Amino acid sequence: MTDPVAARRAAIAAEKERLARARERRSSQGQSAATGFGRRKWRWLGVNGDEAIDAVLVMLRDFAAAPELTDGQRDTLDRAVAGTPDRETLLPAVRAGLATLEPAAVLGHLRSLWAAGVRWLGERGSDRCRVLCSTAPGVELLGTRSHAVSGGPAFSLFVTAATRGAIPLPNAVLTQVLPWAPLSVLDDLVDHGGLLTDDEPWLARTGDEALYLRARLAPHTVGPQDAERLDWQDALRRRAFLADETLLRQEPEDVWDLLYDVARDVQLSSLDALDAVLPRAQQIQLRDLRSGALFGQWDGDTLRDRGLWKLMAALWRPTETVDPRRGEFYVLVALDRAYDLLKSGDLDGARRQAESFVRERKAAPGPSLPAELLAEAYTIAAYATAVTSADAGSDWAAREQLDLAKTYAEKAAEDGGPVAERNLRHVGAWRATPKNKRGMMTNPFLDIGLDHGAEGWERHCRALFRDYEEHGDQAAQARLNLAQDRIDEAARHEAGFDVFFRAPLDPARSAQPDAVPGRLVPPLEPMARRTALTSGADLESIRALASVELLDDFRSTPPHLDRHGSTR
């Protein structure tokens, strides 16, 4: 304001307003303004001005009659209220009186003293009081110096709570606050790494809170019943998946739904979605598995995980003969490939694949493969060899092939059971029958790409016929009609479909195992936080307890007053 007259008028008005507010405050508190002599006495105690005197008097009246005080302390307080405070004995009496109050009341009085400029705390206490009296202390408030400010357990917890765990609790006070700290503050510490599994905070809590902390920090210690009690769906669904139990699908799909789709149901369309939700370690395993499918090459740990075999077999489409000597997974893939070649009409390819087992059998001194799987390989080899004998260039060559087919069938019959023995009789009958009197040796179900005795073959035949008709393939239609007639005729006789050579003996033997894919199962992660941010009421209660700790730094003598009136 540049006009000196206007500035003077404004200053007078402001002073009148201040005096009016002071009179109104003294009237509402039932107090009278201190005399000049009284102000001087208070000033020597570090209490400057009417507002500061009023704040001190309100505090003194709050505990002056506390029964816990001694007669001398009460007398000191009464004389101070009367306007004659004693410089030597007042502050110890004030500290004793504050100690009789509830924490919230202590906080209120310390706030009033701090706002009025009364500094009855030591340097360390003043630093902490400044923090406690701040409206919303945070990391930006606690500067470099304040970070070094240390205090009791409650003050340390207050700083942690106010900064949402950014400033951790000192280890020295951790065990003291764990029994009573709000759960949301402990969650802040967990989120910032200030509370670890080794701290075992659940030992200091009871009931659901202890269980919750274990799930947050030591998830592997939480059993099925406790997980149910917590309604911890991630742990429950993981355990159900590992136990091969039925999972109810989630909306949206979670990692367990996608794992089931990909690894158990082999839905390759869900591979990318699974890749996106897997943790990094399992994501790498999945990508290694997919890249290994290009050439059928995987590391030993992957091959030992039987739960991955269905997915590996679905991803790998070998175009060359698979060597069954490479391991059990390759045995199943080789058998499945030989059978698929049979159904697709590639009998030569099926024979070469089946004979890879025969070569392995001859190379080893004894059977290195399960007998039932060798029986399956010999059965496919016998069928493919017998059927292709009809295309041999001479009767002698055809006879040689049938002899070889009979040898294969005999090997299959050793461990193949009644079906293999019936197949052996079929081969023996073909071999004993002249070529011009020999009927068709193929299995009509395999001719049309179905499993032996498959239901719904009529519907399949109709669909194939329409497809051949659209493409104008009359030769294929004729072959289809012949196969259908043979199945119809067999169905009308008592022997049924046993009149056909059956391959494989048991399709389930070459099926990939239906197991849990251990290497793709994510580890059990700690339970996600369930508490909200620390409430204002919780923060205020911690602040009040921290204010009680400030009494340990209460001065026993007033601050020194210099000649200009400032205290230090």
The percent of residues in the chain predicted with pLDDT above 90, rounded, is 53
Cis peptide, bond prior to residue 252, ω within 30 of zero: yes
Distance CA 146, CA 130 (A): 10
Model confidence at 26, pLDDT cuts 50, 70, 90, reads low
> For position 11, what pLDDT does the model report?
64
Q: What is the pLDDT of residue 15?
A: 63
What DSSP state is assigned to residue 554?
A: B
**Hey, which residues does 561 pair with through a beta bridge?**
567
Please name which of 408, 391, 315 lies closest in space to residue 354, comparing C-alpha atoms: 408
Proportion of the chain above pLDDT 70, given as a percent: 89
Short-list 549, 567, 557, CA closest to 125: 549
Mean pLDDT of 317-334: 92
Q: Give helix 4-28 / helix 50-63 axis angle, nearest 10°.
A: 10
Residue 86 has pLDDT above 80, yes or no: yes
pLDDT tens string 440-452: 889 999 988 999 9
The whole-number average pLDDT for the span 197-219 is 95
CA separation for the pair 491, 537 (Å, rounded): 83
Q: What is the pLDDT of residue 366?
A: 43
Write out pLDDT tens, residues 398-419. 888 999 999 999 999 988 889 9
Per-residue pLDDT, 168: 86
The residues that bridge with 567 in the sheet, in sequence order, are 561
Low-confidence winner among 42-51, 54-63, 390-399, 429-438 (lowest mean pLDDT): 390-399
* pLDDT at 334 exceeding the cut of 50: yes
pLDDT of residue 163: 86
Residue 12 phi/psi, 5° resolution?
-60, -45
For residue 3, pLDDT beyond 60: no
Least confident of 249-253, 272-276, 424-428: 249-253
Q: What is the pLDDT of residue 166?
A: 85
Residue 293: its pLDDT value, please? Answer: 94
pLDDT, tens digit, 9 for 90 and up, residues 362-380: 544 444 678 889 999 999 9
Q: Indicate if the pLDDT at residue 426 is higher than 60.
A: yes
The answer to whether 326 and 351 have CB atoms below 8 angstroms apart is no
pLDDT of residue 136: 66
What residue has token string 């000192």?
170
Q: What is the pLDDT of residues 87-118, one digit of tens each?
A: 889 999 999 999 999 999 999 999 999 988 99
* 361, pLDDT greater than 60: no
Closest CA to 500 of 404, 387, 400: 387
Q: In the structure encoding, which two tokens stand for residue 200, read together?
A: 């075992």
Locate 560 and state its tokens.
């020194």
- What pLDDT does residue 231 have? 94
What was the pLDDT predicted at 492? 87
> What is the chain's mean pLDDT, rounded?
87
Q: pTM of this prediction?
A: 0.73
Does residue 286 contact residue 520 with C-beta atoms inside 8 Å? yes
User: 43 vs 52, 93, 96, 172, 566, CA distance in Å?
Assistant: 10, 18, 22, 40, 9
Q: Could you tell me if 559 and 568 are in contact, meaning their C-beta atoms sit under 8 angstroms apart? A: yes
DSSP of 201-244, one letter per residue? GGGGS-HHHHHHHHHHH-GGG--HHHHHHHT-HHHHHHHHHHTT
Task: Write out the two tokens for 372.
Answer: 């039932």
Amino acid sitting at position 427 = V
Number of H helices, E strands in the chain: 27, 0
Q: Is residue 193 within 8 Å of 167, Cβ to Cβ?
A: no
CA atoms 128, 132, 133, 135: torsion sign: positive
pLDDT of residue 563: 46
| Residue 68 or 398, more confident | 68
H or E segment to which residue 21 belongs:
helix 4-28
pLDDT value at residue 28:
54
Cβ distance 115 to 129 under 8 Å? Answer: no
* Bridge partners, 46 (sequence order): none
Tens of pLDDT along 188-204? 999 999 899 999 999 99
- 521 versus 164: the higher-pLDDT residue is 521
Compute the distance between CA of residue 321 and CA of residue 342 in angstroms, rounded to an integer.
14
Tell me the per-residue pLDDT of 136-175, one tens digit each, with 9 for 90 and over: 666 555 554 444 456 789 999 998 998 888 888 888 899 9
CA angle 175, 178, 182 (to 5 degrees): 155
Overall average pLDDT of the 306-323 stretch: 94
How far is residue 523's CA from residue 222's CA, in Å, rounded to a whole number? 14
According to DSSP, residue 543 is labeled H
Distances (CA, A) of 432 to 82, 145, 410, 421, 438: 134, 104, 16, 17, 9
CA angle 187, 191, 195 (to 5 degrees): 70
Tell whether the model's pLDDT for residue 567 goes beyond 60.
Answer: no
Instruction: For residue 49, name the pLDDT band (cuts at 50, 70, 90).
Output: confident
